[in-house]
Amino acid sequence: MKDKIAAFCQKYRELIRYLIVGVLTTVVSLSVYYGCVLTFLDPDNAIQLQAANVLSWVAAVTFAYLTNRRYVFESKNTNRLKEAAAFFASRLATLFMDMACMFLMVTLLGMNDKIAKLIVQVLVTVANYVLSKFLVFRK
């Protein structure tokens, strides 16, 4: 049994690490967002709310790039600037995908926003992995 678990972990090592980093990235995002709105930004002000959202996104994507580069995809690319730009661009693309899917599902189709967000998060996570693996950190 122990050998089967070890074989499973080795076979899916990259994917397991990706999921762990994803959870940690979510913690970073939420921590920065809540830190902003609980200290110096007013969430009742639309502009400040979006500022907190953007700051949390930047922090989360920066953390995700650094951890995905080192621990998930173990990149050896020496052109970090180009790699980081590709990573941020891919995450920006999936942010727009997220927004478009939410608009379609909630605004146009009248779906419950909580259920729609769960579905969209799965789609975004898969898209982020595929873009990272085959576009940003390809070997």
| pLDDT (tens digit per residue) in 43-88 | 888 898 899 999 999 999 999 999 999 999 999 999 999 999 999 9
Please tell me the predicted confidence (pLDDT) of residue 5: 93
Show the beta-strand stretches assigned E in 38-128: none
Please tell me the predicted confidence (pLDDT) of residue 1: 85
d(CA 68, CA 116): 27
User: What's the mean pLDDT in 89-93?
Assistant: 97
Please tell me the predicted confidence (pLDDT) of residue 104: 94
What tokens appear for 102 in the block? 């939410």
Q: What is the dihedral of CA 62, 128, 115, 25, to 10 degrees?
A: -30
Total-model pTM: 0.89
Instruction: Give me the residue spans of the domains in the chain.
Output: 1-74, 78-139
Q: How many CB atoms lie within 10 A of CB 17?
A: 16
Mean pLDDT of the chain: 94
User: What's the mean pLDDT in 6-15?
Assistant: 94
User: What's the mean pLDDT in 89-107?
Assistant: 94
Instruction: Express as a percent the part of the chain with pLDDT over 90.
Output: 86
Q: At what angle do helices 13-39 and 113-131 cross, to 10 degrees?
A: 130
The sign of the CA dihedral 40, 87, 133, 6 is negative
Instruction: Express as a percent the part of the chain with pLDDT over 70.
Output: 100
